[in-house]
Amino acid sequence: MLGRTFAAATLLLATSLTQPLTAQGCTSGTFWQRDSLPASPSSIPTGVSVIQGMCEGESAGIVFEMPASMPVQKITKVVAPWGAAFGAAGFLAALDIEVYDGVSFSGQNVNMGQLVFSLTQTANQNLQASSHGLNEFDTSPYNIVVGAQPPIGGVRRFAICFRTDVNFHPSGSCATGWPANFFTDNSSFQFVCNPAITPQQTSIIQIAGQGWRDAALATVQGIQLCPLYYSGTWAIRCCSEDAFPATYSSFGPGCANSIGTAQLINSVLPRLGQTMIVNVTNMPIGLGLMITGISNQTSTLGFLPADLTALGLPGCDLRVSLDLTDGLITFGTTGSWSLAIPNQTNLLGLQFYQQAFVFDPPLNSFGGAMSDAAVWQVGN
């Protein structure tokens, strides 16, 4: 880490971010950023500080705080800053991506909580970072969930971190510093650690032999790194979306009855602590059954969908398993079904399947028809 030689002039270098590799921001969901650089700096020159003393095997990270009302999140994209002196392009590094859920601070010490993702451990690969810019990596395929840990001191925090597995700069070393390395948003040389420029409980570093430290307070051999060896906020960003959104959608057609085809229409989505409501349209005599199952692949009748012609319902298919059946009664042609969802987090993300049978005695020998089928997911 910083301080092998304590050559401050070579460890803190203001450079020009003139051509970032990619524009930043999120197409949907939430964009997380704690640095002061523009969110999409594709053509905006910005001064930054390359922190040359970060060694191979060490890690840089940003801690984000989640609003109390925000549901648990899925990380969909991460952004790693990799810079070089004078904005030089083409210097490469192999970085591991690490995500921690549940972070707390005790002075300069950082308690990292649960490691919920490592790109190296999960996919046996690295993020190939290049100078000079902000390197994006799509994490949406990995189902990285944060915000699930209990609040610490009333605050839910998570950290996006990048570990340098290999720094390919040809002239760098841990002892003398690496001309290409992670950078912060700092654009000026400081003789005093300014909390407005280097805020506490924001940027973190993992120092070999010490562990995780608050970059604003960290010391090496008794010397505080801020401001001569570290200053600013890491330009580490990420995108997220609700990890378990409440959803309700049709996945298979029904069969016609005498007044049309019964349709399942969601009125209130299945959220924790709330009562979901589903309406059933086109009920000829106001009488039916709501079937709720845990599968749309198999049932007691065999594989799904199951052709019900042999039971007297020609042209009709059963599309959900027969795990729960509730009666539907209405005085019109539209019925309503409801279910109170317990406020239990272990239900988040569970999926269920539904289909209604509506009575229509003259229609066929079984006396009815099937609605379309829907799948729903319990969310926040």
Predicted confidence at residue 12, as pLDDT, reads 40
Q: What is the pLDDT of residues 204-215, one digit of tens each?
A: 999 999 999 999
- For residues 300 and 330, what is the distance between their CA atoms, to the nearest angstrom? 29
Confidence of residue 157 (pLDDT cuts 50, 70, 90): very high
Predicted confidence at residue 1, as pLDDT, reads 53
Confidence of residue 17 (pLDDT cuts 50, 70, 90): very low
Q: What is the pLDDT of residues 315-369, one digit of tens each?
A: 999 999 999 999 998 989 999 999 999 998 889 999 999 999 999 999 999 999 9
Q: Which amino acid is at 252?
A: G
Q: What is the pLDDT of residues 32-54, one digit of tens each?
A: 999 999 887 664 456 899 999 99
If you average pLDDT over residues 213-223, what whole number do you get?
95
User: Which of 281-317 are b and which e, b meaning 16 or more Cβ less than 10 Å from the residue's Cβ?
Assistant: bbbbbebbbbbbbeebeebeeeebbbebeeeebeebb
Mean of pLDDT over the chain: 91
CB-based burial of residue 329 (10 Å sphere; 0-12 exposed, 13-18 middle, 19+ buried)?
Answer: exposed
Helical (H) or strand (E) element with 119? helix 119-123
If you average pLDDT over residues 85-90, what whole number do you get?
87
Predicted confidence at residue 98, as pLDDT, reads 98
Q: What is the pLDDT of residues 62-80, one digit of tens each?
A: 999 999 889 899 999 999 9
If you average pLDDT over residues 7-23, what whole number do you get?
40
Predicted confidence at residue 3, as pLDDT, reads 41
- For residues 75 and 160, what is the distance between their CA atoms, to the nearest angstrom? 9
Q: Which stretch of 49-58, 83-92, 156-165 has the lowest confidence by average pLDDT?
A: 83-92
